[in-house]
Structure 1
Amino acid sequence: MVHLYYDSRTGNVQRFINKVVQITGWQAHQIADDIDVPEAGHLVTYTTKIGSMPDKTVAFMNAYAEKIFSVTSSGNRNWGRNFGLAADKVSENYDVPLAMKFELSGTMEDINQFIDIIKNQYNDSKRGSKKLDIA
């Protein structure tokens, strides 16, 4: 079973996760102060303040980085080179492979690409190289 841990402020990531879960049946867990992380999984977060990691994401990664296989981030292309920058920062700061970035709540193409990446290119294996970075 694939586990997704996610942080959502405006609902964009929540909508993306809901679509992924509806298609796959994977387990989704929203990051909260009292979150329990029973299984390793993948992080989906958002970018805030034009290129920053959300505070909840930072706290979560400080506690559970060793259980995260990959990171994906929502962003807004209006931010130019800062688009989805939270994923780059999580990847760099916690040595977690970057799976992908998507705009706002993602398109069906984004959702299908994410599912493909998680199922076929990572498949819940141990963290390896950063070769997942196809964003």
Structure 2
Amino acid sequence: MINLYYDSRTGNVDRFITKVTQVTGWTAIRIQEDMEITEPGHLITYTTNFGKVPEKTAQFLTMQSHLIHSVTSSGNRNWGRNYAVAADKITEEFEIPTAMKFELSGTLEDINQFIDIIKNQYYDSKRGSEKLDIA
């Protein structure tokens, strides 16, 4: 079973996760403050304040990054070079590979690409897989 851990503020990541879980049946768990996990999984988050990692996501990663295999971030292309940059910052700070980036709540193509990446390019490979750094 594939676990998805996610953080959403405006609902964009919620909508993305809902579409993914409807297609795949994967387990999705929304990040809560002081949340501890025991199962490895993939993180989906958003970029806030024109280029920052959300505080709740950062706190979660401080304690749980060893169980996170990849990061995916939503963003808004209007932010230019700060588009979905939370993924880049998480990759740099926590050494978690970036799976992909998507705009707002993602398109059907984004959903399919995400599923393909997690199922076929990540599944059962090591956390540091170079294959993931395609975003």
Which TM bucket (shorter chain)?
over 0.9
- Where does residue 43 of structure 1 map in the other structure? 43
Helix, strand or coil at the partner of 1:44: strand
Equivalences, count: 135
Is 116-125 or 50-59 further displaced after alignment? 116-125
Consecutive unaligned residues of structure 2, counting only runs of 5 or more, are none
Task: Tell me what 2:60 maps to.
Answer: 60
Is the contact made by 1:69 and 1:125 (CA closer than 8 Å) also made in structure 2?
no
Q: TM-score, normalised by structure 2?
A: 0.96
2:118 alignment partner in structure 1: 118
For structure 1, the residue ranges without an aligned partner over 5 or more in a row are none
Aligned equivalent of 2:9: 9
Q: TM-score, normalised by structure 1?
A: 0.96
Identify the residue that residue 94 of structure 2 maps to in structure 1: 94
> Which of structure 1's runs of 4+ aligned residues deviate more than 6 A?
none
Across the aligned residues of Structure 1 and Structure 2, the Cα RMSD in angstroms comes to 1.0
Identity level (%): 67
Question: What corresponds to 1:77 in structure 2?
Answer: 77
Counterpart in the other structure of 2:28: 28
* 1:41-77 deviation per Cα after TM superposition (whole angstroms, max 9, x unaligned): 0000000000000000000000000000000000000
Task: Give the Cα–Cα distance (whole angstroms) in 1 for the partners of residues 97 and 111 of structure 2.
Answer: 18
